[in-house]
Amino acid sequence: MSKCLAESPLRSTVEREKWMNCYFRKLASLYRKSPCLWKKDTRYYLDSERRHRAYARIHRAMDLPGISFVEIVLKIREMRRVYVNELRKLLEAESNGHCYEIMVPWFYDLHRFLYPYLDYEEAVELHVRIDKLVTPLALDGARRFCR
């Protein structure tokens, strides 16, 4: 069992920092293994039963006492939102000729698979055209990105 999950947190004691540093990394890994939740160009993405089962698998695998199924779904949404915000900061810095150090430890875990599947609202949030976004390979494995 990982150090992050060794403790049995209750709903009231799961701190945001612990989610940011430990649980989101595991959640990202589990999310990646369920493409029906993020891979919008497949027929499985539209299968609500399959998606529900995938969320349930993630909920069971996270094994966090006191954290409900709905809370896991909300954490996945939060994780995507944080990822898009970090990507936006990175792209803004890059367009201004600056470096930006990614502050989210699991950013690249998500970026490696999720970037091509950002939905329209997430792409609009970046305030840049989709075809001008930095490719996943340009960011792969780097903690800092500079041009």
In this prediction, residue 137 carries a pLDDT of 43
In this prediction, residue 125 carries a pLDDT of 67
Show the domain range for 46: 17-132
Q: Of 26, 54, 22, 27, which is closest to residue 39 (Cα–Cα)?
A: 54
In this prediction, residue 103 carries a pLDDT of 86
E strands along 96-146, which residues?
Answer: 100-101, 144-145
In this prediction, residue 95 carries a pLDDT of 80
The number of distinct structural domains making up the chain is 1
In this prediction, residue 142 carries a pLDDT of 47
In this prediction, residue 139 carries a pLDDT of 53
In this prediction, residue 86 carries a pLDDT of 92
How far is 106 from 143, CA to CA, in rounded Å?
11
Q: Which regions of the chain are under pLDDT 70?
A: 1-17, 20, 124-147
CB 130 within 8 A of CB 123: yes
* pTM for this model (two decimals): 0.74
Report yes or no on 143 lying in a domain.
Answer: no
Q: Of 51, 55, 47, 142, which is closest to residue 94 (Cα–Cα)?
A: 142
How far is 95 from 147, CA to CA, in rounded Å?
9
In this prediction, residue 39 carries a pLDDT of 94
In this prediction, residue 127 carries a pLDDT of 57
Amino acid at 86: E
In this prediction, residue 15 carries a pLDDT of 66
62-94 per-position pLDDT tens digit: 998 888 999 999 999 999 999 999 998 888 888
Report yes or no on 45 lying in a domain.
Answer: yes
Report yes or no on 4 lying in a domain.
Answer: no
